[in-house]
Amino acid sequence: MDIFAKCYEFQRAREAIAGGYYPYFIPLSENEGTEVTFQGHRLIMIGSNNYLGLTTDPRVKAAAIEATNLYGTSCTGSRFLNGTLALHHELEQEVADFVGKEAAMVLSTGFQANLGAVSALLGRHDIVILDREDHASIVDGARLGLGQMCRFRHNDAGHLGKILGEIDPASGTLVVMEGVYSFSGDIAPLDAIVSQCQAHGARLILDDAHSIGVLGNGHGTAAQFGLTDQVDLITGTFSKSLASLGGFVAGDDQIIHYIKHFARSMIYSASIPAGNAAAALTALRILRAEPERVARVNEIGARMRQGFRAMGYDVGASATPIIPILLGDDLITLAMWRGLFDAGVFVNPVLSPAVLPQDSRLRTSFMATHTDEQLDRVLNIFQEVGHSLGVI
Q: Please give the Cα distance from 363 to 351 (Å, whole number).
A: 10
Q: Please give the Cα distance from 313 to 329 (Å, whole number).
A: 14
Q: Please give the Cα distance from 311 to 379 (Å, whole number).
A: 9
Q: What secondary structure, in 3-state letters, does 315-350 show?
A: CCCCCCCEEEEECCCHHHHHHHHHHHHHHCEECEEE
What are the CA-CA distances from residue 182 to residues 218, 240, 319, 368 (Å)? Answer: 17, 11, 12, 17
Are 81 and 271 within 8 A, CB to CB? Answer: no
Q: Which pLDDT belongs to residue 367?
A: 98
Q: Which pLDDT belongs to residue 299?
A: 98
Cα–Cα nearest to 314, from 376, 232, 382: 382
Work out the mean pLDDT of the chain and round it to a whole number: 97
Residue 372, burial from CB neighbour count under 10 angstroms (0-12, 13-18, 19+):
exposed
Q: Which pLDDT belongs to residue 389?
A: 97
pLDDT of residue 130 exceeding 90, the answer is: yes
Cα–Cα nearest to 321, from 282, 291, 364: 364
In this predicted model, what pLDDT tens digit does every residue of 89-117 receive, in sequence order? 999 999 999 999 999 999 999 999 999 99
Domains and CATH numbers, the chain: 10-45+291-388 (3.90.1150.10), 58-289 (3.40.640.10)
pLDDT of residue 174 exceeding 90, the answer is: yes
Q: Which residues of 327-339 are buried (b: 16+ CB within 10 A; e: fewer)?
A: bebbeebbbbbbb
Q: Which pLDDT belongs to residue 353?
A: 86
Q: Which pLDDT belongs to residue 169?
A: 87
Q: Which pLDDT belongs to residue 200?
A: 97
Q: What is the SS3 assignment for 232?
A: coil
Q: Please give the Cα distance from 108 to 247 (Å, whole number).
A: 6
For residue 278, the one-letter residue type is A
> Quick one: pLDDT band at residue 356, thresholds 50, 70, 90?
confident
pLDDT of residue 46 exceeding 90, the answer is: yes
Are 358 and 327 within 8 A, CB to CB? Answer: no
> Quick one: pLDDT band at residue 352, thresholds 50, 70, 90?
confident
Work out whether strand 173-178 and strand 203-207 pair parallel, antiparallel, or are unpaired. parallel
pLDDT of residue 251 exceeding 90, the answer is: yes
Q: Which pLDDT belongs to residue 354?
A: 84
> Quick one: pLDDT band at residue 355, thresholds 50, 70, 90?
confident
- Give me the percent of the chain exceeding a pLDDT of 90: 97
Cα–Cα nearest to 220, from 51, 45, 47: 51
Q: Please give the Cα distance from 182 to 236 (Å, whole number).
A: 13
Lowest mean pLDDT across 20-24, 172-176, 210-214 = 20-24
pLDDT of residue 201 exceeding 90, the answer is: yes
Q: What is the DSSP letter of 171?
A: S
The torsion angles phi and psi of 237, rounded to 5 degrees, stand at: -135, 155
